[in-house]
Structure 1
Amino acid sequence: MGMTTQFIIFLSVFFSLYGSMHFYVYRKITSQTTFPSVANIAIIIFLALMVVSPILSRTFTSKRIDGAGYILTLVSSFWIGFVFYLFLINVGVDIINISSKLISRAAFGGDPSLLIPKSYPTFFSILLIVIGICTYAYFEALNIGITRVAVQTSKLPEDVEELVIAQISDVHLGVLVGEKRLKKITRIIREVKPDILFSTGDLVDGNLDTMRGLAEEFRGINPRLGKYAVTGNHEFYAGIERSLRFTEDSGFMLLRNQYVNLNGIINLIGVDDPTAERFKNRAGEDISKLFSRCNPNLFTILLYRQPRKFRENAFLMPIDLQLSGHTHKGQLFPFNLITHIFFPLQGGLFEVNGKKLYASRGTGTWGPPLRFLSPPEIVVIKLESLKTKGNYSGRHKCTECHRHKEGKNDET
């Protein structure tokens, strides 16, 4: 099946579901409230426009109509979250009413009244709840937190007491996640002062023309052991060549099925998102060959975009730590219950067969600029040496050592 066919199928399914959701919401509005015919027509037109607004906003941004494109994208994206919760809560009310009627009918006979009546108070109560959820979710998305994790190992060199690793993931720089959000991200990274910075995919999203000047913000961050990134699916959707150029202009070394020895301290392997296969844009070498180049005495980190295969990787690959992203941990509750079906290991630190995985909830947002019960994060991992455990006068005994003075990495 070609990419065009897949895209058409995706759009057909999406707009069928999205349109049905709007029709259901319209029916609930009109069944619980009474509007004049003019207002009713206005509601129909508004809902119809909101159904197609994702396409309209994408068209505006692709034509570089910046002001109108931004406003339309903001409204369209926010509305996706708003109408989803409006739909979800109304479905919940219907389930409660149907269940109570069935139970009452079976127990007492007759035709019982609705537990939650269809009325103005019900409609406006639901509306207020949805507004409250979306308001909270908007500010939760802006509140980027630091998640601190400690990982102990005996595989660090004698002259290294600890390394501090920062991981960002799923930033989705684009129309909605722009300069202001990026400055907040880079400020947090500077405060953390990591030795290494990793981006585990979806650094960019959408029209790259909206990101002029953002690469410079990243270039100001220079960890002692460098910055490394792998591709996510959105790098391919946005145009892989331009995405790669932006990532490299930002100062990241992009690993596309490649191995790097970090100054004799860390084995690092980064692999492409599986989307590369669909776009027939696979690069680098087979992952088994990459592991054959690793020094078995060093701590090995795998940047593997999706956490789906970690249980398999933990038994088949000589890794110590895998860093992943992709799932956003659902981003909006209860989507985390759905993503859990496909990615059982999401949003946290996991251990299988002595190997560790950190699956990030993500740093930005995709689609709605909202996060509900899945706050964004920058992950800070302190890699602690068991050889010198309990004696941390500084990050490295070798802050001025030969490896760091050289400032060079050996890439294969």
Structure 2
Amino acid sequence: MFLLVVGGGLALLHIYIWKRLVRDTTSPGLVRRVAAVALILLVAFMIAAFVFGTQADPAVAQWFAWPGYLWLALFYYLMLATLVLEVPRLFLRKWAKSDEPIAGVSRRVFLARGTAAIAGAAAVGIVGYGTTVAMGGPSVTRVPITLRRLDPRASGFRIALISDVHLGPLLGRSFTQRVVDLVNEQRPDAVAIVGDLVDGSVEHLAEAAEPLRDLRSTHGTFFVTGNHEYYSGYTEWVDHVPTLGIRPLRNERVSITHHGGTFDLAGVNDATAYQWQDDADVGKALRGRDPARAVVLLAHQPVDVQDAVDHDVDLQLSGHTHGGQITPFELLVSLQQGAVAGLSQHGNTQLYVTRGAGFWGPPVRVGAPPDITVVELRAP
């Protein structure tokens, strides 16, 4: 039902785009037919990217993922620009009805072509810029966070926070290596991968994930599942990451002692895991812990913060949102997750959300550059 609703909505929106950008700007004939066929092909690529992008071998999937996902981004900004331009079209409606032509065409066609050209130029410019940002790779964001119960001896502990790499048809081994090199340059005390590492099976992406074996830190690398691990076959990835020297935290915790000071690092399954009978359980992860000791929780989705508050967690580290990835999509993300990026306070619990290292779908980031965050824990 969800796919039918989304598919129907996309079909209607594409009809609107065809009307405004093709039918209103051209006369019946070859140009209009070619434009219609091109639009149908782009939609077909987009559907193929959605349906088969995580199922096929990335070497094959990239051939329809690149055009399909780029069209999705262009379509998104064409929609926004065209809708905004409906306002001046409305005000110029009476002017466009005049019989006096402009540049050899009717005023109606002139107005339609002008707004189509503006919408097209805006969409191409924004997507072009966003592609260079997304493919340029993540930068490092450094964030000091004071924990009310942190043992002063553990103050200065640095966690490299990685999220939303989304290895798949568009991002492969070379991107993973860039992430690993960037993290190792920071010389962290621990590395936390908070989900959505992959979009595909171990069979297809084991080679792309291989550089993770070279992550270096004082206390090791930890991993929690994101929703995309469940779409990709979470059990095989949970079994595979330990072969890369990464420890999954599945509703469990570890105690970390640093320079004589100890705190707890806990991790929970993704918030959607209940659909695969693999629930997220903060209570189970924290059962029996010393309440005087600080606890840092790894949870893929920011929406888990209410459970963290209920269990007196000091800090939750999350990803999932991509910072919105393509503005103004962050407005919807905020409604669903409650937080988009950065540090926020929820009762006695602090929540930090990273924008993520990679991207999902379109290789485009606008208003939300990719990042890896180095969180430095500090005592009061």
TM-score by length of 2: 0.88
Contact 2:164 2:319 in 1 (8 A): yes
> What code does the residue aligned with 2:78 have?
L
Contact 1:174–1:208, Cα closer than 8 Å, also in 2: no
Q: For the residues of structure 1 that align with 2:238 and 2:148, how far apart are their CA atoms?
A: 35
Aligned sequence identity (%): 30
Equivalent of residue 287 in structure 2, options 263, 288, 292: 292
Partner residue, 1:268: 265
User: Equivalent residues in 2 for 1:208-287 (5 A)?
Assistant: 208-263=202-257, 265-282=262-279, 286-287=281-282
- Residue 175 of structure 1 is matched in structure 2 by 169
**Equivalent residue number for residue 140 of structure 2:** 146
One-letter amino acid matched to 2:308: N
Q: For residue 338 of structure 1, what is the amino acid of its counterpart?
A: L
Map of 2:350 onto structure 1: 356
- CA deviations on 1:118-139 (whole Å, 9 max, x unpaired) are 2434322321211110011001
Cα deviation digits, residues 290-331 of structure 1 (max 9, x gap): 3232223322001122212424532x2121110111122221
How far does residue 155 in structure 1 lie from its aligned partner after superposition? 3.8
Q: CA RMSD in A?
A: 2.5
Name which of 311, 317, 326 aligns with 1:317.
311
Q: Structure 1 residues 153, 236: CA separation in 2 closer, same or farther (over 3 Å shift)?
A: closer
Q: Where does the alignment leave 5 or more consecutive residues of structure 1 unmatched? A: 1-8, 103-110, 387-412
Residue 69 of structure 1 pairs with residue 61 of structure 2: yes
**Is the CA contact (8 Å cut-off) linking 2:282 and 2:307 kept in structure 1?**
no
Aligned equivalent of 1:194: 188
Distance 1:317 1:60 in 2: 38
* 1:46-104 deviations in Å (ceiling 9; x for gaps): 2222223244344476353x544212111111110011111211111113433x369xx
Pairwise mapping of residues 10-409 of structure 1 onto structure 2 (< 5 A)?
10-34=2-26, 37-57=29-49, 58-59=51-52, 62-64=55-57, 66-98=58-90, 100=91, 111-113=94-96, 118-143=111-136, 144-153=138-147, 155-157=149-151, 159-263=153-257, 265-282=262-279, 286-311=281-306, 313-314=308-309, 316-386=310-380
CA contact under 8 A between 1:78 and 1:369: conserved in structure 2? yes
Q: Give the Cα–Cα distance (whole angstroms) in 1 for the partners of residues 368 and 80 of structure 2.
A: 18
* Cα distance, 1:74–1:210 mapped onto 2, change above 3 Å: farther
More displaced stretch, 292-301 vs 218-227: 292-301
Runs of 4+ aligned residues of structure 1 deviating over 6 Å after TM superposition are: none
Aligned partner letter, 2:322: H
- 1:406 corresponds in structure 2 to none
Q: TM-score, normalised by structure 1?
A: 0.81
Cα deviation digits, residues 113-162 of structure 1 (max 9, x gap) = 59996243432232121111001100111341211111124644454341
Rounded to whole Å, the distance in 2 between the matches of 1:154 and 1:329 is: 27
In 2, the alpha carbon distance for the partners of 1:288 and 1:241 equals: 22
1:237 to partner: Cα distance: 0.4
Checking the alignment, whether the CA contact within 8 Å between 1:236 and 1:243 is kept in structure 2 is no
Aligned length: 365
Measure, in 2, the Cα distance between the counterparts of 1:243 and 1:24: 41
**Which secondary structure does the structure 2 equivalent of 1:118 belong to?**
helix
Q: Which residue of 1 aligns with 2:103?
A: none
Higher mean displacement: 249-258 or 66-75: 66-75
| Residues in 1 aligned to 2:54 and 2:337: alpha-carbon distance in whole angstroms | 32
- Cα pair distance change 1:358/1:318, threshold 3 Å: same
Q: Distance in 1 between matches of 2:341 and 2:272?
A: 22
1:336 Cα deviation after fit = 0.6
